[in-house]
A and B are shown apart, each in its own frame.
Chain A
Amino acid sequence: MSDPIIACRNLTIRYPDSSPQIRNISFEVAAGECFALVGRSGSGKTTITKALLGLHHSETLIEGEIRFRGKNLSHLDQTGWKRIRGMEIGYVSQNPWSACDPRRPVFDHLREAWHCRGHRTSPSQIIEALERVGVIDAKDKAFSYPHQWSGGMLQRASIAAATAHLPSLVLADEPTSALDSDLASAVFASIKKRSSAVLLVSHDMELVMQNADRVGVLHEGQLVEIMSPKALNTAPHHSATKIFLDALDVGRSQPVKAVKAPIISLENVSVRYQDAADAILKNVNLSIAPGEIIGILGPSGSGKSSLLKLVTGLCKCVSGSVKKSPALERPGAIMPVFQDPSASLPLSWPVWRVVTEPLTASHLKRSSRKRRREIAKAALSEVGLGDLDIDAKAWELSIGQKQRICISRLQLANPELIVADEPTSALDTISCQKIAGLLTRLAEKGTAILIVSHNETLLKRICDRRFQVDPGTKNVSPI
């Protein structure tokens, strides 16, 4: 291996008076190499990125050594860092829109890369830079504002700005997570083209497997494993790696379930917003049987949520018919799970009161406080929160716990059909798996589940049948 571009030796990062966020990690990125750091959220990926740019909080303590082309950076002051940032180390952020000042045209965003260093530049140079990373119609588009650009194009512009001075290392922090998956590799290719070494931070395993030469797995601030993508796939050693890969495991075979009579079926249904000319859904046919998990995949704004509202009876269809089995007429027979668990819970209530809320429905007999607490205890242990204090207030819980509380609450309504709207998009990989497990278990008990999500992996894993909302015909078709 040639001389590394960047090498971290025994790097430990901590805030004063707290346990380290990064513990004793060592890795290096060689010239021409793409090194990927993967790990769940909170494993310390962002902390490393900030430290490598010298943009960590001023009170942060950094121990160990960061060597950049042989020079030790760990004790560099801000003037020294300013010379390196942008010139020798480039940075591409996750969300291209938030990377640009919304009040300035994209042209200014690029020009800033030169101007903030006092370099002069001509407009043609900037247009050229845009064209080099594959921006189409760069001349016309450069003077429009970020919100008028598409994500893929704007991310390319950001890459052009990050690599304006041909840095020897580019830090790419989830560079494709805001983009559609078919754009990801093309955009990432433009980073590789402009820089000799890339440090990729991502949990898009597809991207990592395709592009990385080596992969480091971060777990709770430690680098537990470094290996080639191939080896990672075939022989992971560390348990954290396994869990991480499990979450990405696709196409698991499902036991074929006996076909039962559907509890709800949509026949030729069309839906339209009030005052809108065009329907958001057209001629949809869909039926759900007890115990079945149905997944609906589609980009945001494609009418997935309207489909859910239609099923729960919160909005009416314009034409066609929704046939519900009589079992769905009782209150609590259809229960929802929402994207944001914090908004779905009354945050100031104690947990036991949240969980047993369905028992206060008007058609049920009132149960005593003591009884409700007992029921809550039992219901919580069913979702793996048995050791949670039932007097804890909902706002004290983590987001993953909150979502499990939501599931536990809906179980007490004893639903026949669960309608889940992006139930895992606010959660990290592990919590997402737990929720998926809970939903599968509910389905095994005979509850029908309809999930809307853009997480294709999740849908592949747990759904019996999957559909897609076609943005053109506004119809749903099986995949």
Chain B
Amino acid sequence: MISMLLRRNVALAPSLKSRSARSLLQCLWWHKSGRSGLVLSIIVLLVALVGSVWTPYDPDLASFSTSLKPPSADHLLGTDEMGRDTFSRLLNAAHRSVGAAFLVLASSFGIGLLVGIFSGLVGGNIDSLLMRLVDVVMALPSLILAFAILGILGPGFGNLLVALILSDWAWYARLARSLAIGSASRPDILTARLAGISRARIVVTHLLPSIATKLGVMATLAFGSMISAISGFSFLGLGVQPPNAEWGAMLSQSRLYFDFAPWLLLSPAIAIFLSVLAANLLGHALRDISEMRNQ
């Protein structure tokens, strides 16, 4: 991995330096796949925002006279079996699929960061108690744990999000804790301590940013699998409930009509593909940049 990164960074470094790219955004812009990832991510987020307030047609309005119409000027992506406009449903679903993935990741990132750093810094009994909890959560594969929690709570969009957060946070907590514990011998932190800088200030200015960066890269790279988890559970009917639109649920409904209405299956599939692609490109670029900076 290192040699690959080295090679990539050698190509990357001069262009970054000559253009005096300093902020993260500038670095992303000059990164090969970072630019496309950034643009694509912004588009996906915008679509999710717009789709939650405005769509060309009412996404849930059934009209049987227009059912299963192929794509046309009136209905860009055709209509589904209940005559609902696919494009509107796709737009409207974006904030459930993408927004929910964002919410789950942000929550598990936040909980993990706080619990991990707290546990690592406090140490002692509280630390071992928290880490036993993390061990218990991590003894199950996260999808299985999500199934178990959904089994207890029952199907539903809110329950799905709770289940995913509960099964995801421990990974971040463990990483944050190990970074926090390792920080005791970090040269930059030792220097600050000897210079007489207060503990709270060191945590806020040194510890938190460096750990948050590492966890943030991890969370971005996990975005794709989170979108697929949410749409997968909804596909099974365990997540978003009808008539609300969600990409996975749309896939599940459209299976039956594939023979004469393939657009119903393809459009949510492509939407999932593009948003996961955006997150992957962005995540890899962020990882490259943070590794290059740490050389």
Chain A interface size band reads 20 to 34
Chain A 375-399 interface 0/1 with B at a Cβ cutoff of 8 Å (1 = within): 0000000000000000111011000
* Smallest Cβ-Cβ distance to B197: which chain A residue: A361
> How many A-B residue contacts, CB cutoff 8 Å?
77
Task: In the A-B complex, list the 3 residue pairs whose CB atoms are closest, starting with the nearest.
Answer: A331-B196, A361-B196, A344-B187
* CB-based contact B198/A334 at 8 Å: no
Bound-state CA distance A357–B22 (Å) is: 20
Contact sample, A vs B, 21 pairs, CB 8 Å cutoff: A331-B194, A332-B195, A336-B194, A342-B294, A342-B295, A343-B186, A343-B188, A344-B191, A347-B293, A347-B294, A357-B191, A357-B192, A358-B195, A362-B196, A391-B22, A392-B22, A393-B22, A395-B292, A395-B294, A406-B191, A409-B191
Chain B 179-210 interface 0/1 with A at a Cβ cutoff of 8 Å (1 = within): 00000001110111011111001000110011
* CB-based contact A314/B293 at 8 Å: no
* CB-based contact A395/B293 at 8 Å: yes
Chain B hits for A312, CB < 8 A: 190, 194
* Smallest Cβ-Cβ distance to A391: which chain B residue: B22
* CB-based contact B294/A332 at 8 Å: no
Instruction: Summarize B's interface: helix, strand, loop or mixed.
Output: helix
Chain B 90-134 interface 0/1 with A at a Cβ cutoff of 8 Å (1 = within): 000000000000000000000000000000000000000000000
* CB-based contact B191/A410 at 8 Å: yes
A-binding residues in B (CB < 8 A)? 17, 22, 186-188, 190-192, 194-198, 201, 205-206, 209-210, 213, 292-295
* Smallest Cβ-Cβ distance to B210: which chain A residue: A346
Chain A hits for B190, CB < 8 A: 312, 314, 336, 338
Bound-state CA distance A396–B192 (Å) is: 21
Q: Which one of B17, B190, B197, B295 has the greatest number of beta carbons of chain A within 10 Å?
A: B197
Chain B hits for A343, CB < 8 A: 186-188
* Smallest Cβ-Cβ distance to B17: which chain A residue: A396
CB distance from B293 to the nearest CB of A (A): 4
Bound-state CA distance A183–B295 (Å) is: 33
CB distance from A90 to the nearest CB of B (A): 25
Chain B hits for A357, CB < 8 A: 191-192, 195, 197
* Smallest Cβ-Cβ distance to B190: which chain A residue: A336
CB of A212 within 8 Å of the partner chain: no
Chain A hits for B294, CB < 8 A: 342, 347, 395
Within the complex, which residue of A335, A340, A360, A395 is in contact with B194, where a contact is CB–CB below 8 Å?
A335
Chain A hits for B17, CB < 8 A: 396
Chain B hits for A358, CB < 8 A: 195-197
Bound-state CA distance A413–B196 (Å) is: 9
Chain A hits for B192, CB < 8 A: 357
Chain A hits for B191, CB < 8 A: 335-336, 338, 344, 357, 406, 409-410
* CB-based contact A332/B187 at 8 Å: no
* CB-based contact A332/B196 at 8 Å: yes
Bound-state CA distance A344–B186 (Å) is: 7
Chain A hits for B209, CB < 8 A: 346, 348
Bound-state CA distance A1–B196 (Å) is: 67
CB of A103 within 8 Å of the partner chain: no
Given A395-B293, A413-B195, A360-B201 contact (CB < 8 Å): yes
* CB-based contact B295/A332 at 8 Å: no
* CB-based contact B187/A336 at 8 Å: yes
CB of A345 within 8 Å of the partner chain: yes
CB of A257 within 8 Å of the partner chain: no
* CB-based contact B188/A344 at 8 Å: yes
* CB-based contact A362/B197 at 8 Å: yes
* CB-based contact A334/B194 at 8 Å: yes
Chain B hits for A410, CB < 8 A: 191, 195
CB distance from A416 to the nearest CB of B (A): 12
Chain B hits for A363, CB < 8 A: 196
